[in-house]
Structure 1
Amino acid sequence: MATEIQVPQLGESVTEGTIAEWLKQPGDAVAVDEPIVSLETDKVAVDVPSPVAGVISELKAEVGDTVEVGAVIASVEEGATGAATGGEEPARSQEKREEGKKERSDQDEATDAASVDSSQTLSPAVRRAVLEHGVDPSTIKGTGKDGRLTKEDVLAAARNKRDDGASEAAPPAAAAPAAATGERREERVKMTRMRQTIAKRLKGAQEEAALLTTFNDVDMTAVIEARGKYKELFAKKHDIKLGFMGFFAKAACLALKDVPSANAYIEGDEIVYHDYVDISVAVSAPNGLVVPVIRDAQAKGFARIEKDIADFGKRAREGTLTMEDMKGGTFTISNGGVFGSLMSTPIINPPQSAVLGLHRIEDRPVAVNGEVVIRPMMYIALSYDHRLIDGREAVTALKIMKEAIEDPTRMLIDL
């Protein structure tokens, strides 16, 4: 008996998605709840599982097709046997995925995002496999359409790397032809649905809002000393590292309490204010920038905020963030410092009216009590919608954040 596979509900207001990659082909065996296709929506990639065990009998959509929620995209012949067993192969694949996750669990989020060569166009599933197994996609020969990488190509490369170090033994002649001829090449690749959405939203923000950015610099000495003094106790008690983002999230909550317009947005001819702070945190994922939300940040302690951020980073790398994770948000924090940025003018995340940009910390000479000293300094930037937020309010909000970071006690006694 054939069972139809339909596009599931993808989230509130999301009515369609794009076929990013078929993880199974006709004749392949599948187990219950084993993913058969990766769908890309405006915000996240979603793996669609098979509701039954059997064999893929037909694919009714191609890679790149746009499919609506409820549309039939494949069928499974229930109980049949195919090219692979329905139980052993998924188990081995799961084991390999868990091994890859364990190997990379201690690596930094920014390193994970940067480890995939951005010049290559990879599907969400392939990118996840590359990150999980720590392989270099530029050294793998793709067997997919037009020579593109498939998930199976990555898994095969990972096996070779573990078993016999094949990546080190690869013949150097493979790259020789391009170098010898000096051929100039270009490639046209259709933008992913997520990248198109990011482009539209950011351009829309520039066209709709009256954007302006105010800057300040922060002496990070007090925060660095606090982290150094309490990091071991903090990690032991809360099982999470004490990072910088927790300090800035709490500092932002103080500022937004005193400057509520920076935590509001315009809807029609009304201003919507919030008595809570939901902070969107910009996170680099393999298939684009995502902004999961820390709910009720004003009511959370440092440990809970740090755990939320770590969880978002982990799930962004794995491609398991959901639409609900990114719904809402009243204010955004974007940390370009992890990539080495010295200064930037971040763009607001509509419909929000303000975004805080963090940058790298570097030793600089500053004047303190009439003397020139070297201090760890960071430039911070607040971009805001001038239609709603006046310059005085924006400068005040940024100044409150600066003072809270330079004297963290303020965050404890609500000053």
Structure 2
Amino acid sequence: MDRTDIKTAESLDLTDVAAPFEILTSLPFSLCRTQCVSYKDEILMFGGHLKRDCYSYHTIKNQYKIICSYPKNVELHAHCVVKLMNNNPNEINILSFGGSEFSKRHTLKMKYVSVWNDNKEIGIKSEKKNRVNEWIPFTDNKDIPYLIGRNQDDHRGARAVIGGNNNNLLFITYYPEDIDVFDLNTCQFIKHDKLPIENWIRCHCFIIKTENNLSIIKTKKKKHELMFFSQSNGLSIEYDEENNIFQFHKVRVCTSIKSFVFYGYVYINDVILFFGGHDNAEVGATREIHKYSTTQNKWTKSEHILPIALSDYVALLSEDNVYIHILGENDGKKDTGTYMKTRLTEWIQEETEIERQWITEEEEKIKIEEIKIELEKIKDVNIEKWKKKKEIEMIIEYWAHSLFINVGWIQDFNIIILNYIL
């Protein structure tokens, strides 16, 4: 690859960044809220916020080529794109949907054949015969155009994954707190439910544990396991396909990411990596990186940070699982898009000393949160019954052992102790 097209983190004068991020050739347009799919040596980019153009980035040639554009009557507002199952190694099928009662709804499909195919004659024949590399209406079994979503459904910022015993089920999570199961074979919604969460959702994290990661629950009645994260809400979701039932289990979200949304994320080897995020408040976009182990139920905050702060991220793995590609809009620069990559192996290593210290601090914060919850439960009970020397000593001991935690926590300890002794 031509070195003139790549800038390392060091060349950006970011001396506090040790992770080997590479800043790649500038994007052809700002990819705010783009949707991407990996395919062989390509990263396919399907539009963005009010941007209809679709591109292919060749990871070896370090070049872009336009694929096509969405139809002119389609307005993209945080749409959703998923890769459908296909046994043909020379093409992939793509599904795109989005919209709401406030913006025009669309459901389109594309059969993609590489635009980098050197055999142009074969490519032209295939394109004319099969209508490849263009968006066409998604149709039902009667070949009638079909729109995914009810009139009241708001799919702006929705997230979707493919699953099911036959990979025919589309799981969709969307605003404000909804989850649907759509059968792609019959073009019917077969399940609707409400997520047991506290905040509305958009541009969140939603993954399915795949058989490749050995995370499907192995029972005679196969169940499928999904995970959901948005701000302070975390859920492990079990779907019983035979009985068409959801079961929800709450998962704790670490303190340093619980205010954020709009992060990029990837799932590999039972680990979810979270890159950046935006809290729509004072902090804005963050450069922090977090890791969540789905098997150990453990959070880790990386000692490394992103080279630059981005908002409206998308992150995805290369098809060979070697690189993580991260695309987004520069925070505060609406006309600038940034594209970077990093090796996956950098993020699945053992914790460093700094990261282990963060884990210890986080455990202390968990204890504090648990005490606060207990205090809320007894606030209507005669507090005199709870004035025990041993309990107060326990609070003070937590305080003494946690002095290395951010000074802002001192006020929390004061509140806890005052609730006991006043």
TM-score normalised over the length of structure 1: 0.27
Q: Which structure's residues are more often strand, by fraction? A: 2
Larger RCO of the pair (alpha carbons < 8 Å, separation 6+): 1
TM-score normalised over the length of structure 2: 0.26
Q: Which structure's residues are more often helix, by fraction? A: 1
